[in-house]
Structures are given as structure tokens and as C-alpha cells.
Chain A
Amino acid sequence: MLDYNSKRKYSNLLYFFFASLCFLVALIPLISILYYTIVNGASVLSLDFFTKVTPPIGASGGGILNALIGSLVVVAIASLIGIPIGVLGGAYLSEYPGKFSYYVRLLAEILTNVPSIVTGIFVYQLIVAATNHFSAWSGGVALGFMMIPIVAISTNESLKLVSSTLREGGLALGISRAKTLIYILLSTARAGVVTGIALAIARVMGETAPLLFTALGGQFLIHSPNEPTTTLTILIFDFGTAPYTNAHAIAWGAALILLIMVLGLNIIVRVASRLKIKGET
């Protein structure tokens, strides 16, 4: 039998091994997803892919232009709702702490995990059923509702990090609370707030379920946000589950573009904030 100290040493090694193994196991799906998406998606990329709209289902050729524009339109509308309300709401949470803020913050944290399908049927009932009309902007509203709690929490966190002496200094100089907030606090927390917004955009860009019953889908470029539209995510779902290899190829291509946009945004944001931290120290 091993002596006591050897046993301790080996169980320590075992722990190292297990934890590292867990980490590597967690990475396998990431590598696999990247591999499949790049290999399957790259083969379908071409100039046509970015300039043509989706083909009839099952047909070859065509592209994803309408889905790309659809995604941008829907996310833009979501941002118009999510960013102002989220930032201002998050500012409230840090400027006026108290029981109300505590419960709003708690509610926001719960809302960030609300099943996206629930948001979808909620906005369907709220807008689509009430107006008898599918539209890109109703999809934008659904995503906007999802963005608000995310942006509020990240704004709140960024403002919390700002030293209170800055707040007190502003007030001590007789600057109004509003000006203190805007010119001193938010500008100091600017990096964190922008990071939070960018991550929220990346998150809603990848959402599908809320759009299935609001933006619905479409074959052409839309003329206005009042029309229904397809998005990259709707396209991946529709074409990925169709029984045609042509459709699958387009789905992989769209998935590659979506991954580049979403992961790219994540990477840019994190690298930028790390550079900024390095620059400031």
C-alpha cells in the first residue's frame, strides 16, 4: 500500500488530471462545431452567395442576401429598443439603490434566462395576433425585449465599478446629477457599457425562436420593416431541416456567416477591452 503522503500526492495529481480533462472535454464540441461549420460552409461561399436571395427550397444556386439584410434589420430595431431602455434602466439601478432597484435587478436577471420560445409567443399575441400581421419589426420588438435586461445588468455592473469618489466629486462641484451621470460616470464606464451592448447584440443576433412567429420568413428582400422577413437564424432552421442537400449547403453557409459575425463580435469586444485595460495600466 502507498504510504499516506504518496496517497495525498496521487489524489492531488488525479484532481489535476480530472479538472484538465473536464476542460478539454468541454472544448471538444467547440472544435467540432467550428470544424463542421467551416468545412461545410466554406464550400458554398461565392459572390452569388452574398448578392442573391434564397432560392426556392431544394433548388441549387441562390444566396442569403435577404436573410442577411433581415438579420440586420431585426437586430437594428431590437437595438433601438434595447439599448436606450437598457442603459437608462441600468443607470437607474446604480444611481438609486434601494428595495425597488433590488427587485428590478433580480427580475432582470431572471428575465435574461426566460425561454426564448416564451418571448416568441408573447410578442406574437401582443403584436401579430392583435394586428393580424407578421412583420420584421415585431421580430425586432421580441429581440428588443430580450436585450433590455441584458443591457441593463451589464450597464449596472459597469457603473458599479466606477469609483464613488467620481460621483461625489461631481456633486461636490455642484454639477447636476444628470450631468454627473452623463459626462463623468457613463463616460468613465463607457468601455464596459459598450462591451455589454455589443455582447447583447451578439446574443440576439443568434436567436431564432422569438422570430419564428413574428418575422416568420420570406423569399425576397423586404421593402420596409412592416413586411415579414427571413433572417440568418430562421434560414438555418428552415433549410437545415429540409430534405434537400442543396438546402443543407445553404444552411451551413449561413451558419458560417452567422458564427463569424457572432463570435467575431465577441472576440473584438473582449480583445478591445483587454487592450484598453492594458493601455490604462
Chain B
Amino acid sequence: MGGGGMPATMPTVALLGAGATFPAPLIQTWTVQFNQMYSGVTISYNPIGSGGGIQQISRKTVDFGASDAPLSNAQLAAAPGLTLFPETLGGVAITYNLVPFGLANGTVLNFTPNVIVGIYYGTITHWNDPAIAAINPGVTLPINLITAVHRSDGSGTTYAFTNFLSDVNINWATEVGYATSVKWPVDTAMNANGVGAKGNAGVAGTVAQTPGAIGYVDLIYAVQNHLGVGAVMNAAGNYVSPSLQTILWAAQNATGTPNPADLRLHIVNAQGAQSYPIATYTYMLTYRDMSLNPDLTQQKATVLAYFFWWEVHGGQQYSSGLDYVSLPANVVAADEQFLLTLNYQGTQLLPSSLMPG
């Protein structure tokens, strides 16, 4: 029973979602919880990457998608009727593996945006580079080569990370840009070492196994893998470590009043003294008129709509336990307005009575 206006029972229905790896632990926990509430409803979520989520929902081979990267206007145009709403948010952590080279466990290194840009450009190649040393006084940096790990698959984490790099560095913006997958200069730079790995999983695993490696992963993967996590200088000039709190501050300071008609929210490099600069919403992808997906009957569409509703309400209680940030109240309100526009050939799927007050 979902409480708060959710129906008492639901029919036996199987639904399929696919997309980003970042929210996978949370979404899969949600589907398991939802199945415990409604034993006939089995919603399977397959983490194949943000790009995959966009691809499969555009082709209507899945019932819903999930992506860390907001859909571009071109992608929205290519799949008429496709929309999105944020269901959780996270941050991209800069992780590194330097304990084998003598750094004390738990040492927090400072990074300015331009240092990170330099590492992934391949211009900063060793850990004891003056640029890194200058902002980390008191830390004895090793002389070793930096192995810069990045994603080899299409990824919303890459999107958020490169979005941040493009925001802070004009060269990166023009020469590399931001996307779910980019051509990493560090891969081909002289004397530098770039390595690709698949999934947040792969990057975290590669960093964990490679002394001297640095990588960008969703915060939760860094925490769970006990990797060193860096503090990044934000727009206010402070070095901020990623945490549920600093990411929430970024969201609260940047979001303003979200527009339910377009819920693509840009919170990279947010204002606020302690806002974490590489924060990102992650989105669920669905057709506003669910009948556009031939596999969805009205019954299945209704169940799916209720699942979405539960995600942003009852589901949020599971967020912090899994190291995800709960949606700020204004975003939940915007999501509610959005979810009420979900329909099946014009018939609104969720009753307006669900809205509180």
C-alpha cells in the first residue's frame, strides 16, 4: 500500500525500463519496494547507460528510460512526445587512488576546475605538477604519472562532468564540448595516460585497481569503493567536497522555480558558499501521451504513472540510505504538476485528487 492516495491494489503487470547506471541502485530498490507493495507489479530496470536509455525509449523498445543527461532539443525532436522529469540528483566526484604512493588514507586533495581540465587535456601529467602542488600545500604529492580514467560508453556522468568543464574553461568548451561521450584529449596527448572504462562501475573499479589513477564517478560509487575524493573549487571560490548536503545546497541555490513544461535543470557550478560545483539531476524519460508506446496498454500506463508518482514521494525515503540526494521541495512540486499531464490518448492517467491540498 503506497499511502497518500495510492491505490490499494494493482493488477499483474510487467514493465521494462533501461538507462543510466548512476541511479540504478536507487531505481532498482524502488522497483523492489514497489513490488513488495503491489506483488503483481514487476518493473525491471536495466542499467545500460544514459545513451542506451535515450535510444531505447526513442525507439519504444522499453516502457521508460532514465538518463543523467537532459535530452537535447534534437533528441526531443527525434522522438515526438518524449518528455522527462527529474527523480533524484547526485554529484560527480573526483576520485583518486594515491594510498599506494604514500598518501595517507582519507587525504582530501584540492582541485581547481582548471587543474581538472589540465589533467583531462593531458597537459598536467604527473601528480607533483606545480599546479596541483600549489593548491595542496602540506601534502607530499608522488612523482608518478596520472592515469586519467574516463567513460568509454555514453554516459550522463560524462555529460555532467564535461558540462562543468565547458562551463569553466573556454578551450574545453570549443575543442571538446560536452556530451554523453567525447573525444578525450588525454587519450592521444603525448606522455599522458588516458584510460576508458565502461560504466561508473568500470571507472570506479579501474581507479580502485590502478595506483595513481584519477577518475570522475557519481558520488555514490566513490563512497562505496572507499576511494579518495577531492574537494573542488566552486563558483564562490571555496573548495567543497561532495556530500549529500553540498549537492542539495547546489540544487536549492540553482534551481529557482522549475517550469513543469521543461524540467531540464542546469545546476552545474551553482552559486552558494558551500554548493558542490559538479551536481546533476538525473531524469526519467517517458512519453507524455503513453499510448505512443504500442506496448503500453492504458492499464500498464496507469501503473507506470503511479510508479513515477511514488518515486518522487514515498520513494525518496530510500535516497539518503543509498547516498542519493532527496529532491528539494520545489522540484517535487514541479514534478507533481508534470506527472498530472501524463495521459493515454488524452485521458489523464493520475487523478487530480493526488495533489496535496
Contacts of B224 in A (CB 8 A): 58, 243-244
How many residues belonging to A are interface residues under a CB distance threshold of 8 Å? 25
Interface centre among B61, B200, B225, B295 (most CB of A within 10 A): B61
User: Are the C-beta atoms of B14 and A227 separated by less than 8 Å?
Assistant: yes
Q: Which of A59, A128, A220, A243 contacts B200 (CB 8 A)?
A: A243
| Contacts A56-B28, A227-B14 given; does A133 touch B46 at CB 8 Å | no
| Contacts A219-B28, A222-B14 given; does A132 touch B200 at CB 8 Å | no
A98 vs B47: C-alpha distance when bound (angstroms): 51
Contacts of A222 in B (CB 8 A): 14
User: Are the C-beta atoms of B32 and A219 separated by less than 8 Å?
Assistant: yes
| Contacts A59-B29, A134-B16 given; does A243 touch B208 at CB 8 Å | yes
Q: A273 CB to closest chain B CB, in angstroms?
A: 41
A56 vs B30: C-alpha distance when bound (angstroms): 9
Q: B285 CB to closest chain A CB, in angstroms?
A: 16
User: Are the C-beta atoms of A216 and B14 separated by less than 8 Å?
Assistant: no
Contacts of A227 in B (CB 8 A): 14, 16
Q: A131 CB to closest chain B CB, in angstroms?
A: 9
Which B residues from 14 to 31 make CB contacts under 8 A with A? 14, 16, 18, 24-25, 28-29, 31
| Contacts A56-B29, A59-B29 given; does A132 touch B35 at CB 8 Å | no
A222 vs B29: C-alpha distance when bound (angstroms): 18
Q: A251 CB to closest chain B CB, in angstroms?
A: 12
User: Are the C-beta atoms of B201 and A243 separated by less than 8 Å?
Assistant: yes
User: Are the C-beta atoms of A218 and B25 separated by less than 8 Å?
Assistant: no
In the complex, per-residue mask of B141-154: 1 if CB is within 8 Å of any chain A CB, else 0: 00000000000000
User: Are the C-beta atoms of B12 and A220 separated by less than 8 Å?
Assistant: no
Q: Which of B16, B28, B225, B295 contacts A57 (CB 8 A)?
A: B28
Asked if A217 is at the interface of the complex by the 8 Å CB criterion, the answer is yes
Interface centre among A58, A218, A241 (most CB of B within 10 A): A58
| Contacts A56-B32, A243-B224 given; does A219 touch B198 at CB 8 Å | no
Which B residues from 309 to 324 make CB contacts under 8 A with A? none
Contacts of A242 in B (CB 8 A): 199, 201
* Nearest A residue (CB) for B62: A134
* Nearest A residue (CB) for B17: A219
In the complex, per-residue mask of A221-251: 1 if CB is within 8 Å of any chain B CB, else 0: 1110001100000000010011110000000
Which A residues from 102 to 150 make CB contacts under 8 A with B? 128-129, 132-134
A218 vs B24: C-alpha distance when bound (angstroms): 12
In the complex, per-residue mask of B185-220: 1 if CB is within 8 Å of any chain A CB, else 0: 000000000000011111011001000000000000
Q: Which of A56, A132, A223 contacts B60 (CB 8 A)?
A: A132
User: Are the C-beta atoms of A243 and B221 separated by less than 8 Å?
Assistant: yes
* Nearest B residue (CB) for A241: B201
User: Are the C-beta atoms of B202 and A241 separated by less than 8 Å?
Assistant: yes
Which A residues from 36 to 87 make CB contacts under 8 A with B? 55-59
Contacts of A219 in B (CB 8 A): 28, 31-32, 42-45
How many residues belonging to B are interface residues under a CB distance threshold of 8 Å? 34
Q: Which of A59, A132, A216, A241 contacts B46 (CB 8 A)?
A: A216
| Contacts A217-B46, A219-B44, A243-B201 given; does A134 touch B32 at CB 8 Å | no
| Contacts A132-B295, A228-B44, A243-B201 given; does A216 touch B28 at CB 8 Å | no
User: Are the C-beta atoms of A220 and B35 separated by less than 8 Å?
Assistant: yes
User: Are the C-beta atoms of A134 and B25 separated by less than 8 Å?
Assistant: no
User: Are the C-beta atoms of A133 and B44 separated by less than 8 Å?
Assistant: no
| Contacts A217-B46, A223-B14 given; does A132 touch B61 at CB 8 Å | yes
Contacts of B200 in A (CB 8 A): 243
Contacts of A217 in B (CB 8 A): 44, 46
| Contacts A58-B25, A217-B44, A219-B42 given; does A243 touch B205 at CB 8 Å | yes
Asked if B294 is at the interface of the complex by the 8 Å CB criterion, the answer is yes
A217 vs B28: C-alpha distance when bound (angstroms): 13
User: Are the C-beta atoms of A57 and B221 separated by less than 8 Å?
Assistant: no
Contacts of A129 in B (CB 8 A): 59, 61
* Nearest A residue (CB) for B32: A56
* Nearest B residue (CB) for A219: B44
Contacts of B16 in A (CB 8 A): 134, 216, 218, 227-228
Contacts of A59 in B (CB 8 A): 25, 29
Q: B317 CB to closest chain A CB, in angstroms?
A: 15
| Contacts A58-B224, A217-B44, A219-B44 given; does A241 touch B28 at CB 8 Å | no
List 5 extra interface pairs beyond A227-B14, A241-B201, CB under 8 A. A132-B294, A218-B46, A219-B44, A222-B14, A244-B201
18 contacts between A and B (CB under 8 A): A58-B224, A132-B59, A132-B295, A133-B295, A134-B62, A219-B42, A219-B45, A220-B14, A220-B42, A221-B42, A222-B14, A223-B42, A228-B16, A228-B44, A228-B46, A241-B201, A243-B204, A243-B208
* Closest 3 pairs (CB-CB, A-B): A56-B28, A220-B42, A218-B44
